[in-house]
Amino acid sequence: MDVRVAGHQVDTGESLRDHAAQRMAEITEKYFSRSVGANVTFGRGPNNDYTCDIVAPVVNGVVLKASHSAREAQLAFNGA
């Protein structure tokens, strides 16, 4: 599975990228065996918090989208 992790005005460290890639692989393996990739984008929210947006095409044109914001980037990802 190809997981692309990007940061919009946020530095995505190695551990955050690894956590996102590992967790997305676990989720798609459990629920969607044919998913080919996902885009995970971290950014800054209006209250100096982190936002996480996930877009993952899974099967036959179905695209899953999730977003969440939290005080820490990893918590924003886990919430999404």
**How far is it, in rounded angstroms, from Cα 61 to Cα 45?**
30
pTM, 2 dp: 0.86
Coil, helix or strand for 62?
coil
Residue 49: band (very low, low, confident or very high) from pLDDT cuts 50, 70, 90 = very high
Phi, psi of 13 (to 5 degrees): -75, 170
**How far is it, in rounded angstroms, from Cα 6 to Cα 41?**
5
Q: Is 77:22 a contact under the CB 8 Å cutoff? A: no
Residue type, 73: A
Instruction: Give per-residue pLDDT as tens, 8-39.
Output: 888 888 998 999 989 888 887 888 776 678 89
